[in-house]
Amino acid sequence: MPAEKSDQIFKAFKQLHQSGKKALALLIDPEKIGTESQFKRLIKQAYQDEVDFFFIGGSLLTEKNVDKTVMRIKEVCADIPVVLFPGNVIQISPLADGILFLSLISGRNPELLIGQHVTAAPLLANTKLEVLPTGYMLVNDGQISSASYISQTIPIPNNKPSLAKATALAGKFLGLQTFFLDAGSGASTPVSKEIIKNVKQATQFPLIVGGGINSVEKARNAWDAGADIVVLGNGVEKNPDLLTEVLDFMKVYNLSLNVN
């Protein structure tokens, strides 16, 4: 019998989308977490600053330590959702709360549109992980990111909102219910406001935006354009104070929207 699944994470995503309240996800790369004490400090900081979600994953993870990373987060804060953001099927951990079941709809690589999913589905059915069907779109101006290289796909050009909109609409018509626009980790230019606006307006579903967001201003641009959840990865790896700065700003931003 398949394990019973909760729908708490998708409910939280929908609540954000419906209320207009903004949220932040901290992306943890299990292979870039530094020493035990540095990692504990970061997770405690995220907890105190009230981060909304932890995302865990990477384009290419070479050590099998996703389980251990989830456990170490849960030891410090059990009540913040830990969501897998997997580059492939071996990054599944039954200890997390949910999984972004990404289909790379900006690409034409069948393995990442449906292949990994067929391998993962029976495993996921036997876990309590909440499965979040997510249209994953890489958007970039030609810079090769780990995700575009590993997936061997061409991102949607950042100045072609009509292509992004058509792709997202196709994802919506296929039944996807969350969308993730990613410029790729460490991108020099984040996803454009125009693309975020178009995809949000076309899908009317929760929207996650990440890649190259390494300042309060870039986070604000993404939220202003329609992102519900902004993802921070490399920026916080380089400067943990960025997390506090962005979360402090987000609280004021949400107060100004009067949606708390």
Ligand X SMILES: O=P(O)(O)OC[C@@H](O)CO
Ligand Y SMILES: CC(C)=CCC/C(C)=C/CC/C(C)=C/CC/C(C)=C/COP(=O)(O)OP(=O)(O)O
Closer Cβ to ligand X, 30 or 233, answer by number: 233
Answer for which of 136, 179, 205, 253 binds ligand Y (CB under 6 A) is: 136
3 state DSSP class of 210? strand
Interatomic CA distance for residues 235 and 212, integer angstroms: 8
Task: Please state the closest distance from residue 258 (CB atom) to ligand X, in A.
Answer: 29
Q: Is 234 in the site for ligand Y (CB under 6 A)?
A: yes
Closest to 113 (Cα-Cα) out of 124, 100, 104: 104
The vertex-194 CA angle with 189 and 196, nearest 5°, equals 80
Of residues 39 and 223, the one with the C-beta less far from Mg ion: 39
178 binds, among ligand X, ligand Y, Mg ion, none (CB under 5 to 8 A by kind): none
- Helices 216-225 and 193-203: crossing angle in degrees, nearest 10, is 30
Closest separation in Å from C-beta 43 to ligand Y: 18
Contact call for residue 167 and ligand Y (CB under 6 A): no
Q: Are 54 and 24 in contact (CB under 8 A)?
A: no
| Binding residues for ligand X restricted to 136-175, rule: CB under 6 A | 147
Q: How many residues bind ligand X (CB under 6 A)?
A: 15
CB of 60 to ligand Y, least distance (A): 7
Do you know the residue count of the chain? 260
In the chain, the DSSP E strands lie at: 23-28, 53-56, 82-84, 98-104, 130-138, 178-182, 207-210, 229-232
CA distance 251 to 22: 9
Q: Where do contacts with Mg ion occur on this chain (CB under 5 A)?
A: 29, 58
Q: Of 185-244, which residues contact ligand X (CB under 6 A)? A: 185-187, 210-213, 231-235
Interface with ligand Y includes 87 (CB under 6 A)?
yes
Determine the residue type at 108: R
- In whole angstroms, give the CA distance from residue 197 to residue 240: 29
Q: Tell me whether residue 117 or residue 197 sits nearer to ligand Y (CB atom).
A: 117
Residue nearest to ligand Y (CB): 185
What is the separation of C-alpha 41 from the centre of its chain, rounded to a whole number of angstroms? Answer: 22
* Number of residues lying near ligand Y (CB under 6 A): 26
Give the nearer residue to ligand Y in terms of CB position, either 112 or 247: 112
Q: Do residues 86 and 57 make contact, with C-beta atoms less than 8 angstroms apart?
A: yes
Q: Give yes or no for a contact between 22 and 250, defined as CB atoms under 8 angstroms apart.
A: yes
The nearer residue to ligand X, 126 or 233, going by C-beta atoms, is 233
127 binds ligand Y (CB under 6 A): no
244 CB burial (10 A radius; 0-12, 13-18, 19+): middle
> In terms of CB distance, is 29 or 228 closer to Mg ion?
29
In the complex, the smallest distance separating the C-beta of residue 91 from ligand Y, rounded to whole angstroms, is 7
- DSSP letter at 23? E
- Asked whether residue 184 is marked as a ligand-binding residue, the answer is yes
Please state the closest distance from residue 23 (CB atom) to Mg ion, in A.
21
Q: Which residues of this protein are in contact with ligand Y, per CB under 6 A? A: 29, 57-59, 85-89, 101-104, 112, 116-117, 120, 136, 146-147, 150-151, 185-186, 233-234
